[in-house]
Amino acid sequence: MRREAPRSIGDYTPLFFPALMLIVFFVVPFSTMIAVSFFKRDPAGFYKTDFVFDNYARFLSTFFGSVLGFSLMLAVLVAICCIAIAFPFTYLLTKQSRKVQTVWLVCLLSVLSLSEVIIGFAWSTLFSRTAGITNLLVAVGLMSQPQALLPGFGAVLTGMVYQALPYTILVLYPALVRLDPTLLEAARTLGASPVRAFFNVVTPALRNTLVATLIMVFVFALGCYLLPQILGRPSQWTLSVLITDQAIYQSNMPFAAAMAVFLVLMSLALVGLTLLVGRRENAG
């Protein structure tokens, strides 16, 4: 079958419904949000139509600066932890039998699909004083009394790594499973040990993939909106949490929208940067 260019309006028919839905319910809402970011807050309703930069001007405060800095730092940290755990894991996973791989993938997908609410609840239970992991340590005699491990930075980080880890593995999986096995075999015949071959051959061959994955996980972690709220202190709230907070609880939709636009721009800039880096490396 040849793929022909559409010739008549009739050939475009299948495109109508998807195009309509995506434009009306994605492009329009997204544009609405950008427009609202320039509106004024209306304490009685959602917003008042206007054109002001006040919402963006609010970014220029030390409070906002520290939230932004913390959000970025947390997301970077989560991305690094995830890659550090997931990369060797995924590599080893692709060397397993089909059956083992399938079982793991099913488990990973199941965890990945879990709601942030559920992950937050599960970890808050695990870190709690009454039902938490410290009870286990008390039982084996390592601790004298169970204690709560939350709220705290460690809890937030653990929860977010937990949420992002299956995502990281599944992003890395296609690249690693398609990796040419003869590459590694060649290194082995030249006398490299499996561990050395992994670091000297596999890692450099996948450098672009790793950078791309790092950015994807970073953006994913940046979008985390509940875990800092459930597992952390208010000082550990991220930009996403603030957006939710402003939109829902403070009813300040214009400011929330401005922060959201800012978050999009930042995500896009980072994705663009990755593509640029990738292209330069490929060209070089």
Partner 1 sequence: MTDRLLRRLYFALVALFLAAPLIVVLGVSVNEKQDLSFPPKGFSLAWYAQIFTDPEWRSALIASLLLAVSAAALAVAIALPLAWFLWRRHAPWAHIFQLLGVAPFILPPVITALGFLTFWATTGFYGQPWTAAISHAIFFVTLPLVTLSLGFASIDRSLVEAAATMGADDRTIAKTVVLPLILPYLVSGYAFAFVLSLNEYIVAYMTIGFTMETLPIKIFNALRYGYTPTMASVTVFFVAIAALVFGLIARFGDIRRLLGAMGSEGK
* Residues from 165 through 224 that contact partner 1 (CB under 8 A): 165-166, 170, 173-174, 177-178, 194, 219, 222-223
Decide: 133 and 126 in contact? Cβ < 8 Å. Answer: yes
Stretch that binds partner 1, among 25-33, 183-191, 202-210, 276-284 (CB under 8 A): 25-33
CA–centroid distance for 206 within its chain: 20
Among the listed residues 132, 151, 228, 232, the single contact to partner 1 using CB under 8 A? 132
**Element of type H or E holding 54:** helix 54-57
Q: Kindly tell me which residue out of 70, 76, 77, 135 binds partner 1, with binding defined by CB under 8 A.
A: 135
Query: In degrees to the nearest 10, what's the CA dihedral of 123, 125, 131, 133?
Result: 10
Please, what is the minimum distance in Å from the beta carbon of residue 9 to partner 1?
13
Does the protein bind partner 1 through residue 143 (CB under 8 A)?
no
Residue 234 lies near partner 1 (rule: CB under 8 A): no
Minimum CB separation of residue 281 from partner 1 in Å reads 22
| 155 neighbors 132 (Cβ within 8 angstroms) | no
Identify which of residues 128 and 205 has a Cβ nearer to partner 1 in the complex.
Answer: 128
Residue selected from 10, 17, 97, 144 as contacting partner 1 according to rule CB under 8 A? 17
Sign of CA dihedral 212, 87, 226, 106: positive
Measured distance CA(7)–CA(12) in Å, rounded:
9
- Rounded Cα–Cα distance for residues 180 and 220 (Å): 29
Q: Decide: is 76 part of the binding site for partner 1 (CB under 8 A).
A: no
Question: Which x/- pattern over 102-131 shows residues binding partner 1 (rule: CB under 8 A)?
Answer: xx-xxxxxxx-xxxxxxxxxxxxxx-x-xx
